Amino acid sequence: MTRTIHWKVDLFLSEQDGTTTARAVLDTGTAQLSASGMARCSPQDADVPEIGDELAAARAMKNLSLDMMRVAYHDVESKETGSPGRPAGPAFGWSELTT
């Protein structure tokens, strides 16, 4: 079975007094999940707003990713019923991919 879906991620960034805040919002069409990230410019560093944007956005997306994994693990565990000969518990079919 082939399936194609479109999930949308919006990033909202704001900067005030050397602190950049980002909010990443995932919209799956049936649910939304959001996470935030922040970056501060050190007094000894040059004030380059794009760097703050990149760091805050990356941190928001990293937090969003971690939240998505928690939701997925919870969903897997809630679907596990423990068939005969197989103990109930986390599924091992959905392993983490490392690159």
Which is nearest to 9 in space by CA: 49, 53, 64?
64
Q: What are 39-83's pLDDT values in tens digits?
A: 998 889 888 889 999 999 999 999 999 999 999 999 898 887 555
Q: Is the pLDDT of residue 97 over 50?
A: no
3-state class (DSSP) for residue 26: strand
Give dist(CA 28, CA 24) in Å, integer: 13
Assigned token pair, 84: 């005969």
Q: Is the pLDDT of residue 7 over 90?
A: yes
For the chain, domains (ranges, CATH) are 8-77 (3.30.160.240)
